[in-house]
Structure formats: structure tokens, C-alpha cells
Amino acid sequence: MSLAVSTSAPHRGSRTLAPLGPGSGRSAAAVVPTMGVEEEFLLVDRRSRAPVGRAARVIEAASGRLGPLVQPEFFTAQVESCTNPTSSTAVLRAELAWLRAELVRAADAQDCLLVGTGTAVIPPEHPLTITPDERYGRMAVRFASAVGGYDQPVCGCHVHVGVSSRAQALDLANRLRPWLPTLQALCANSPFDRGRDTGHASWRAVEHARWPTVGPAPFLDEASYERIAHDLVQCGALLDRRMIYWYARPSEHVPTLEIRVADVNARLDTVVLLAALVRGLAGVLLPEGDEGRPPPFLECGRLREAHRLAAVHGLCGEGLDPVGGARVPVWDMLDRLRERAAPGLAAAGDLLLVDTMLDRLRAEGGGAARQRAALVRRGRLSDVVDSLARTTAAV
């Protein structure tokens, strides 16, 4: 679960100033932070379409070209890729496409498919095994109730935004809280779980919440973060600080804020759209923090309900405005997010790209809707897996 650290990228955390668009009414300038993406994928057997523990062989086959950009995950039926930090959306997309292509090729050599889905569509034929790793082993023992029956891998997509300090990361996390339910809805891509339709757009959000600290980040400054992180480890609630799984958390090893709210998606454009919107919001919100503008106050119960609705409905139906408290069509919330991020998107040169991808998403539906549509055609869950695998490979 770590973003690649490139020794040739001293610009990590740097920001390029750009003016706000005309008519914004703001004196601040939007900025262009660096960004990076981690994607967790499921490996499934080519014939059964069930998760299989072949990650070690897939990683070995891919590591000659990818090196540390491909890594193991908690279960041996999962692999993770991580990009280098960049300021360019085009560079990010190209690297994500390259990583996927290499992993698809390596998986194919091991007679399995690389699948971008938040949960397993078809149940494993046998209990899954945990990746041989001392830390993972300790986690499995101490948090056995979260691991469950060793049959439920969950796969997310995490976006890192470059910051100058932990204090700045926490301030940005405070300002992003109202928008994270909408980003969660945007990427909902796990309606099926081990052979059944869950009734949710993102069942991963439900299952992942079995782990401690998964959920909205508290409103924190640096001193309170250090105190809470220390106390969570000291009292045994967490194994270590790397187990702080808030939806927005400062990284412990690179100068970034990590956004952890999204399901992994088969469609690459959805991942690029997520990263561009997160970076666009950050480009607007970071200068507001530098100016000392107060972040919005959010009632915790209302924020949790907004995330719950995002997991249930995804892009179909209503969400909750966590600031005003009104039930609002999810696409209205997404339109508001786009407007809020517009100066940052414009500064990065991403505004037209984002509008084009949003139009396509509105016309074709999100990941959860596309998974259900694949089932409707012939009523076969194997068709869902095959559709996911084809889309994951279509880079």
C-alpha cells in the first residue's frame, strides 16, 4: 500500500502557481500539486473466474519491467500497482496504462485474469491465503474478525496529492471532507460479492469498514493527529500507524495526502477522472488554507450518512449534501464538485478532459451499473468477470 518513491522526482510535493479563472471573485491563485495513484487488482482463474492466489508468480513475471511499481497486497489473490508522482494528467494516464498492460500480460502467463473490481464477483473455490509477510500475519491474528473467512478480498484505488508538510496535509484533509462522499459515489464498482448482488453500488465500502479506523477522517491539526495516532497504537487498537485507514490520511513515508475512498475501477478513464478531480479540488483548497480561511464545519453523523448513501447508490439516485443536509441527486453533487474544482482543473489544463469524461460517464453509467448490465445479458456472473477483465485490459 505504498506510492512509488522515485529518486529522480525531487518535485514531489511541489506546486506550480496559476491564476484563477475570470469571474471567480477570489484573490487566491489555484495551484497544481503533484499526484500519484495506487490500484489494487484481483487475480481470478481464467476458467472458474474465482480468485486465485498467484500473485507471487505474477509479480515475479512483471517485476523485471515494473520493479517496485508492482507490489503484493494482503491476500495472494491481489496485486497492487503504484505510479510515480507527476504534475501531468497525460503522464499519469500513460503510466497507469503501462502498468495495467504489464500486469495483464503477467497474469495471462499464469493462466489468470487481472480484474478491476472492488469485491470478488464469484466466490473463491478455497479459502484464500495471506501474503507471507510478518506484518500481515500479525494483522490477521489480532484482527481476525476483520479478516473473516479468508474469502473476501477488497480492492481500492488511492490517490496521493503532493503537499509541503503534514500540517498542510491535515488542513487539506479537513477541507476535502465534504467532497469525499461524491468521489466515493463516482467510483462505486462493487455491486456483487461472492456470487450475490448486494443491493449496493459499493459493497467494498461496507466490508472494508470492518477494519479499525476505516471511515471519515476526524477534523485534526498536526498536534491532535500525533496524539490520536500515538494513542491508537499504544492502546492496541492498531498495529501501527500504517493501519490508519481514514478516507483521507497523511502518508507516513512520502509528503502526500492520500485519498482512500474509491473502489478500484476497470475503466481507466474513471481512475484518471478521479485523480484529476482530487487534484483539481486540492488546487483550489490549498491556497485557501494558506490564506487562513476556515474549513467548513461538518456534523459527523451527517457525513457518515453521506458516505453510506454513496455506497448504496453510487451514481444512481440521491446522495446527501453533508454541509447543508439536503438529499440531492448524486449528479447534482458531482456538478457542484466540478464547479468547485474548476479553477484547479483549469490551472492544470484538465478542464476539457474532465468535462469530456464526465459526459461519457453520465451517458454510459458508472462501474456498478455496467457490472449489473453485464449480468442482465445472459444471467451469468462469469460474464460480469469477463467484462471486467476486458475493460481492465483495454488501456
CATH number of the domain to which 182 belongs: 3.30.590.20
Please check whether residue 182 is in contact with residue 334, taking contact to mean a CB–CB distance below 8 angstroms.
yes
Position 361 in a domain: yes
Under the banding of pLDDT at 50, 70 and 90, the label for residue 22 is very low
Q: Which of 158, 174, 154 is nearest to 261 (CA)?
A: 158
Grid cell 500480460 is found at: 105
Position 387 in a domain: yes
Position 51 in a domain: no
Position 254 in a domain: yes
Grid cell 469530456 is found at: 356
Query: What mean pLDDT do residues 11-31 have?
Result: 47
Position 99 in a domain: no
- Using the 8-state DSSP alphabet, how is residue 21 labeled? P
* Portion of the chain with pLDDT greater than 90, in percent: 91
Query: What mean pLDDT do residues 260-265 have?
Result: 98
First to last CA, the chain: 23
C-alpha grid cell, residue 229: 495516532
Summarised one tens digit per residue, pLDDT across range 85-115 is 999 999 999 999 999 999 999 999 999 999 9
Distance from C-alpha of 366 to C-alpha of 389, rounded to nearest angstrom: 16
Domain count, the chain: 1
Distance from C-alpha of 70 to C-alpha of 83, rounded to nearest angstrom: 9
- DSSP-assigned letters across all residues of 136-172: HHHHHHHTHHHHTTS---B-EEEEEEE-SSHHHHHHH
Contacting residues for 17 by C-beta, under 8 A, at least 6 apart: 29, 30, 31
- Model confidence, pTM: 0.93
Position 1 in a domain: no
Helices 268-290 and 166-176 cross at an angle (nearest 10°) of 110
Backbone angles phi, psi at 33, to 5 degrees: -70, 160
Distance from C-alpha of 65 to C-alpha of 81, rounded to nearest angstrom: 12
C-alpha grid cell, residue 98: 503501462
Query: What mean pLDDT do residues 271-280 have?
Result: 98
Distance from C-alpha of 318 to C-alpha of 334, rounded to nearest angstrom: 11
pLDDT at residue 9, as a whole number: 32
Q: 294 lies in which domain range?
A: 134-393
Grid cell 499504544 is found at: 234
Position 163 in a domain: yes
DSSP-assigned beta bridge partners for residue 72: 79
C-alpha grid cell, residue 64: 523485471
Residue 155 has pLDDT above 60, yes or no: yes
pLDDT at residue 297, as a whole number: 86
C-alpha distances out from residue 49 to 31, 41, 191, 196, Å: 44, 14, 17, 15
HSE-up (13 A, CA, CB side) for residue 17: 6
pLDDT at residue 37, as a whole number: 98
Distance from C-alpha of 261 to C-alpha of 158, rounded to nearest angstrom: 7
C-alpha distances out from residue 374 to 40, 266, 365, 388, Å: 22, 13, 12, 9
Across the chain, what does the average pLDDT equal? Answer: 93
Q: Worst-scoring range by mean pLDDT, 5-9, 71-75, 232-236, 362-366?
A: 5-9
Position 292 in a domain: yes
